[in-house]
Amino acid sequence: MKKDIMQASLITAIKTPFKANGDVDLADYDKLVERQIAAGVDGIIVGGTTGEGHLLSWEEHLMLIAHSAYHFGSQIQIIGNTGSNNTREAIKASETGFASGMDAALHINPYYGRTSADGVVEHLKQALAMGPAFVYNVPGRTGQDITPDLMLQLADHENFIGVKECAGNERIAQYEAQGVACWSGNDDECFDGKHQHGSHGVISVTSNIVPELMRALMDDNSPALNERLQPLMSWLFCEPNPIAINTALMMTGAVDHNFRLPYKALTTEQREVGLALLAEFSQDEIVGDSLSLLSDELFNYCS
């Protein structure tokens, strides 16, 4: 029986694998999700940044949410990234996602074509009206911070679950003290966020590759484990996400070597660093059944 979403401390922003022709590879996707479930992960974000939702058509995106809810919804929380910088799109995608069985949505403030502070609040209120949702604050990608004064205007909405917050543990502590549930959006800060600053947990990239260890990181106050994982976390963000996690899962044989452009594999030098880091973990600690550097010509790029 899956836990209530407020009890979810480890949520994986799950990768979307692709076939050689660029189509979504549902067989590999299912294997990735099954490993997350086996590791005790509480939920998955479907079609988030790590899942390359911005490179999926809406048809693919909503299909993946429906597929996830149908096959795994009884075992794990299904959170569909139905956010958009277009309010109308966010509403429509959320309606469809909830009709398909997702448990919650993930909503972001308008990016690129940014709006006023009042516009941010109204955009998110319109999206929240569709059903339970996390609000995602990632100023590094949107170019606009959802500041606490704005977030608190949303926090009393009946469908507001909490915040995926990338603005640091000080803000997370501030929110949690005010009764606003927070999940860290920064893997390298999530241990301190959980065990020192009172966060509910993390929405993680790293758990794609070491889910059992990230499960332990949230459950156990173990500075030694946090220290062990920090180099891997740092490497996974050596280029804009999800370039490194894609490359890592290919290096471990978890998915085929197919990238959707504009993403390309890490360089040979970067992969050599990652290979050394991944080799420090035992086979049962990482997702995939092999570990290799891979040569440049093995990577396939499609649109």
**Residues belonging to the active site:** 136, 164
Please tell me the distance from the alpha carbon of residue 133 to that of residue 115, in angstroms, as a whole number: 21
Cis peptide before 262 (omega within 30 of 0): yes
Spatial neighbors of 203 by CB under 8 A, at least 6 apart, are: 11, 12, 13, 45, 48, 134, 164, 183, 184, 185
Backbone φ and ψ of 79, nearest 5°: -110, 115
Q: Report the candidate in 299, 232, 231 with the shortest Cα–Cα distance to residue 263.
A: 299
Helix axes 223-235, 211-219, angle to 10 degrees: 140
Indicate the residue type of 168: G
Structure tokens at 66: 């429906």
Half-sphere exposure of 284 (CA within 13 A, CB side): 2
Structure tokens at 202: 């993390």
Structure tokens at 140: 């590094």
H or E segment to which residue 301 belongs: strand 300-302
Q: How many CB atoms lie within 10 A of CB 168?
A: 15
Tokens 């990608």 — which residue? 141
